[in-house]
Structure 1
């Protein structure tokens, strides 16, 4: 790493030029796949593109590793969600199975919901899903989660607020 990179204002172009190759090698070593490393590296720089922190960046490689790790976590979560969805579809009678277009749309919706609920505590997420997907009353949820009804009300309210803020932030 040159002194010029750490002392001058870092631009996306200089960051990419100086560290893209290094990031791909690091990711290839971590993932044992050059193909996945290329995808993660590209997604990492896409995320960095909108980041205002570049101007004060002191340790570009550490910053890129942090962003790349978050991209990897998101990829692993999406893959796990897709696998669970496909396993569920395999259990359905073929006559009831959705079309390929419907499957893609449903999978995108599931991934959006997963992203939207990310950051909620386990009980908050579970209370919200039990309320919204299974239609359980707050009393039933309280029994299932072994908490008070007032706690369930707080969990669901927090989850609704979280989802509304997510939608506002992402223009949904």
Structure 2
């Protein structure tokens, strides 16, 4: 049975600011401790808690939240996974750069732009099935022929072509 909304325990219709203040006061310490235990770093936990509450502030009707801790946990988990994914992408990019000649080094601005583009492409490809994503990446990054990709992922050559088209369509949506 769901709990009552945050606003129902008050004798009057609270303002948005009061609801958010109450939500923060009642749950910030709890969330911060959970994140600290999960991340093993109080600074990262504080950043993640702040971003979690920033997303709650952006909600159109925070007074309708019935299970605040469940919502906070869900938002925080998504943020953690996104940060881990970003870290992994950045590591892969840095490893690729390490293979380049020392004379070729992107500027800080270029590094930022490449990372933003990589994150956007990653987000778009995340909507593809694992086989479609693999086929697209084998084709575009590794330059494998469709026949070899078909063998690698266990599908027909025609299906590989369809997967690559799906990946290309997804990448056409890039807004960076």
Query: TM-score normalised by the shorter chain: which range applies?
Result: 0.7 to 0.9
Aligned length: 167
Q: Which has the higher helix share?
A: 1
Say if 1:53 and 1:159 are closer, same or farther in 2 by CA, change over 3 A: farther
Say if 1:157 and 1:47 are closer, same or farther in 2 by CA, change over 3 A: farther
Residue 142 of structure 1 pairs with residue 150 of structure 2: yes
Stretches of structure 2 that go unaligned for 5 or more consecutive residues are none
Deviation, 1:114, is 1.4
Deviations 1:62-85 (A, max 9, x none): 111111011001111111111222
Residue 152 of structure 1 pairs with residue 160 of structure 2: yes
SS of equivalent residue, structure 1 residue 95: coil
Say if 1:119 and 1:51 are closer, same or farther in 2 by CA, change over 3 A: farther
Residue 88 of structure 1 pairs with residue 96 of structure 2: yes
Work out the CA distance in 1 between the residues paired with 2:120 and 2:171.
Answer: 11
Work out the CA distance in 2 between the residues paired with 1:115 and 1:58.
Answer: 30
Residue 15 of structure 1 pairs with residue 23 of structure 2: yes
Deviation, 1:29, is 2.0
Please, which of 115, 119, 133 is the counterpart of residue 125 of structure 1?
Answer: 133
1:78 counterpart residue number: 86
Work out the CA distance in 1 between the residues paired with 2:151 and 2:135.
Answer: 11
RMSD over aligned CA atoms reads: 3.0
Say if 1:161 and 1:99 are closer, same or farther in 2 by CA, change over 3 A: closer
Q: Are the counterparts in 1 of residues 6 and 64 from structure 2 also a CA contact under 8 Å?
A: no
Q: Are the counterparts in 2 of residues 6 and 58 from structure 1 also a CA contact under 8 Å?
A: no
Q: Superposition pairs for residues 20-31 of structure 1, below 5 Å?
A: 20-31=28-39
1:116 counterpart residue number: 124
Work out the CA distance in 1 between the residues paired with 2:137 and 2:129.
Answer: 12
Structure 2 length normalisation: TM-score?
Answer: 0.75
